[in-house]
Structure 1
Amino acid sequence: MTTASPHAHGVHFGRTDVQNVGMGVGIVLIVVGILGFIPGITTQYDSLAIVGPNSTALFLGVFQVSMLLNIIQALIGTIGVVMSRNNPMGARNFLMGFGLLYIVLSVYGLIVGVGSAANFLSLNVMGAWGFMILGVAMVVAGWLMSRHLADDAQTR
């Protein structure tokens, strides 16, 4: 049960907006991680490698994936759901912390390049830019939706 008061900013379904967004992002990441293992949704599925640039499988025909990347996506999503479930600050920390991680992975992917052995996650350019957009969106959502958390805690 949540401790969010009914007059708190953006409380819906017993959870704050930041919790709902954190859980939503987590669920989407879990689904994406699982779908990355399904032939048809992931094209060139026969080339799905455990790790590295040799995996030429493409999620939705666009984003290069590997087994490791799919597992990491699902794991991060699970962490997001757990962190967001009962605690607005947990949701905020998930969105901002893992958002920053996605930004760092994006920059790393763009620097090392697609064919490099250092491309252990199998990120292509579209995947790296996708991570950048996701990371920025997560950080912004975590920041914007948690601005009132301190105010709400003081009014309880």
Structure 2
Amino acid sequence: MNIQTISWVFAVVFLAMGILGFVPGITTADGMLFGMFQTSAMNNIVYIVTGLAALWAALSNPENSRGLFKVLGVFYALVAVIGLIQGPTVLGILTANAALHFFHVIVALVGLWAGFGTSRTYPEADLATDVRRR
């Protein structure tokens, strides 16, 4: 999986979470997206902005994707750490529960890996012609 593909995945996931967070029925009356993730209007806006940034990176080039993932990795790592310390809110702005804290940790780890761990460009493998002799 290359960094552009990861950008597409981030774009789809974050845009879906952000948009669906505003849809009654998918989000319960007490603000639970899919009955699992605590959400609010501010969370949804942050997710839509994240999704749009990931969409821009996916349509751009690998260097822009790496730069974006460095920023997202650090941002969501801070959100995860602050959320784990503070509990149900992050700086009194974003709401979160255990499932959302876990989601932020995963997003931070993937973002940090994609931003800082994929700095080299590797050619895509052509499995049809990659025959190894033993």
TM-score, length basis structure 1: 0.70
Q: Does 1:83 align with 2:57?
A: yes
Number of residue pairs the alignment of both structures matches: 123
The residue identity in structure 2 corresponding to 1:23 is: W
The SS at the match of 1:39 is coil
Superposed structure 1 runs of 4+ greater than 6 Å apart:
none
Displacement after TM superposition at 1:144 (Å): 4.2
The residue identity in structure 2 corresponding to 1:64 is: Q
The residue identity in structure 2 corresponding to 1:75 is: V
Q: Does 1:132 align with 2:105?
A: yes
Displacement after TM superposition at 1:66 (Å): 0.5
Q: Residue 89 and residue 117 in structure 1: after superposition, are their counterparts in 2 closer, same or farther (change >3 A)?
A: closer
The residue identity in structure 2 corresponding to 1:119 is: G
CA–CA distance in structure 2, aligned partners of residues 89 and 117 of structure 1: 30
After superposition, give the CA deviation of every residue in 1:53-85 in whole Å (9 maximum; x if it has no partner). xxx411111111110100110111101111331
CA–CA distance in structure 2, aligned partners of residues 18 and 128 of structure 1: 24
Displacement after TM superposition at 1:89 (Å): 0.5
Root-mean-square deviation (Å): 2.2
Which residue number in structure 2 is paired with residue 23 of structure 1? Answer: 8
The SS at the match of 1:134 is helix
Whether the aligned pair in 2 keeps the contact of 1:109 and 1:119 (CA below 8 Å) is no
Structure 2, unmatched stretches of 5+, are: 124-134
Whether the aligned pair in 2 keeps the contact of 1:85 and 1:91 (CA below 8 Å) is no
Q: How does 1:7-156 map to 2 (within 5 A)?
A: 17-44=2-29, 56-114=30-88, 118-148=91-121
The SS at the match of 2:95 is coil
TM-score, length basis structure 2: 0.80
CA–CA distance in structure 2, aligned partners of residues 107 and 130 of structure 1: 12
Displacement after TM superposition at 1:117 (Å): 8.7
